[in-house]
Amino acid sequence: MSRKLGDLGESVLEQWCAHTGILCNRAARDRGGWDFLLELEPAPVAANVPLDRRLGHRRCLVQVKATDSDRGTCAMKLSNWLRLVTSPLPAFVLVLEFGGEASPQQAYLIHVSETRMARVLRRLRELSAADPSVDLRSRRMALKWTEENQLSPANADVFVSTLESAIGKDPQLYSAEKRRLLDSLGYEESSGEIITRIKIPEGWKGSSWEELMADLQLGLVESLDTGGAELYDRRFEILSPEPIYVSGGPGKIEPRDRKPMTSVPLDLYASGRRVRLEVDIFAASLSKEPPKSIRDFKLRLALAFADIVISPAGPTGTIRWRWPYGDEPTSLASLVPTARLLSLAAEPTEAVGMSLFGSAWATLTLPRDAVPQPSVRMAKLLEWAWKIARAADVEDHVTVRLVDLWHQQRDFELCGHVVDQRPFEGTFSTTVDHGSAIPSGRCGVPCLFALRFSDELLWVPALLVGEGAATAVGESWEFRMEVDDSRVATPVLESFAGDSEVDQNDLLERAAELSGAEQIVRWWTED
């Protein structure tokens, strides 16, 4: 642009402002990035609005571009663009096309609005990523205009009405919205990126980053240890050249919100046996693409003390479990689902089928002896304990210590058979002083099981039925009976903290009342 043509354009703007009564302040050349600061009259208000509540003058920045061509485009320094975009005032570029004449043949008013602000900010971020020290005065960015920006006719009145329409009535509201755009444009997708050094947990060596983060989200990894972090600003998906925050100390990566997607019944079946468990479902995608169905997720089917993990690559599942410490009182109800899972997994079969959401879902493949025998044994013990607790109607609140169960294996198993009233091979024998009074043949023998549940004893009175006879052994008699049936009276729970003790003889008498017509051997009394 020649100096003469530039002066001509600025002269036109000054004439328009004089004609409409707008205060026009000329800026120092090449310093402000704009040519004029215009001050428009306040927007009209009702007469009853107090003076202190009336809006102030509306100011705006205008840069003038004069040209003889009609190409619809010209170049502006990026330093000028930056000042127009970052100013809280409305900013405009007035393009005057003279076409070789003394007066403008066409006029265009380009508002530096949201779209143009975004383009300028993106270009500045791109340059910053390539060379943060670039001189913006040496770089240019195109200014384009179309018929949408045309002032028709090209005169002062149309110019002022177009300004007022773009600025609005309240200059403070305009400035607040421009400030918001300046702070938010380009951050719609994300606003930052953290780069950190992460210690890979044991057992996850060789895992991909996607697998590791999925397992963190699923809770299979509790947290990840970090050795410092750098936070970069991300705008228009372009990172700042240098971190805006650096942390050199150790830290952790933990999920902000780890909640199950839903809770559903899971059916497991193997060797003709079927088990239904209520599981919490956690889901995490291994793909960068949006998942299309539930089968695109890696799943964790969670119990209180066990997990079944299903990978999208399967569909196969793996199982992992952990028992609480042996002397830790734990709710029996929370342990039983894991016991049922391990008991089924120990069945002599190649695979365990799984049905989820009412349809076959995956196969739980376990190598032979995948569940160690001690865990299998503990699972069986917990199943016996559950049956016995249910018979006593205490299954929902009783607690157990695994070490106590382990030391009472035989008692829990035998009592479980009795409670189930299932045939079992067993022999009852005792030494009595009055064997001659005990007839041979079918009879019932009351007995009493004392089973420890944490700080409580569960007394289970039962009647063992079978064929029995007494045999003289020295000066006493030995009574022996082959058991083929059993009956159970109401169990009684006794707390160790209680003041009263259970009358064991009374419980044995209760068991004796279950006999019907059979003869009863009261081995605990004396004639």
Strands 238-239 and 251-253: unpaired
Residue 208's contacts (CB-CB under 8 Å, 6 or more residues apart) are none
Confidence band of 368 (pLDDT split at 50, 70, 90): low
Please indicate whether residue 477 or residue 376 has the higher confidence score (pLDDT). 376
- Average pLDDT of span 325-335: 93
Q: What is the pLDDT of residues 258-310, one digit of tens each?
A: 888 889 898 888 878 889 999 999 988 887 777 777 667 888 999 999 998 88
pLDDT of residue 525: 72
* Of the candidate ranges 20-34, 52-66, 203-217, 259-273, the one whose mean pLDDT is the lowest: 20-34
How far apart, in Å, are the Cα atoms of 461 and each of 382, 425, 440, 518?
20, 19, 23, 17
Confidence class for position 367, pLDDT limits 50, 70, 90 = low
Kindly indicate whether the domain formed by 3-184 is annotated with CATH number 3.40.1350.10: yes
The pair of structure tokens assigned to 121 is: 């900010």
| CA atoms 169, 171, 172, 176: torsion sign | positive
Q: Which one-letter amino acid corresponds to residue 95?
A: V
Higher-scoring residue by pLDDT: 348, 33: 348
Look at the alpha carbons of 338, 278, 280, 208 in this order and tell me if their dihedral is positive or negative. positive
pTM: 0.60
User: Quick one: CA torsion of 335, 336, 341, 344, rounded to 10 degrees?
Assistant: 140
The 10 Å CB-count burial string (b at 16+, else e) for 247-284 is eeeeeebeeeeeeeeeeeebbbbbeeeebebebbbbbb
Tell me, what's the pLDDT at 248? 76
Higher per-residue pLDDT: 248 or 527: 248
Mean pLDDT confidence for 435-459:
81
Instruction: Write down the H helix ranges in 28-170.
Output: 78-86, 114-130, 156-167
User: Is 143's pLDDT higher than 70?
Assistant: yes
Residue-range domain boundaries for the chain: 3-184, 192-253, 262-389, 409-520
pLDDT given at position 2: 47
Separation of alpha carbons 268 and 253, rounded Å: 35
Measured distance CA(31)–CA(76) in Å, rounded:
14
Percent of the chain scoring above 90 in pLDDT: 38
Which tokens belong to 473?
């052994």
pLDDT at 437 over 60: no
The band of 53, judged by pLDDT with boundaries at 50, 70 and 90, is: low
Sign, CA torsion 216/220/223/224: negative
**Residue written as token pair 């009472």:** 408
State mean pLDDT over 119-125. Answer: 95
Name the percent of the chain lying above pLDDT 70: 89
CA distance 366 to 318: 7
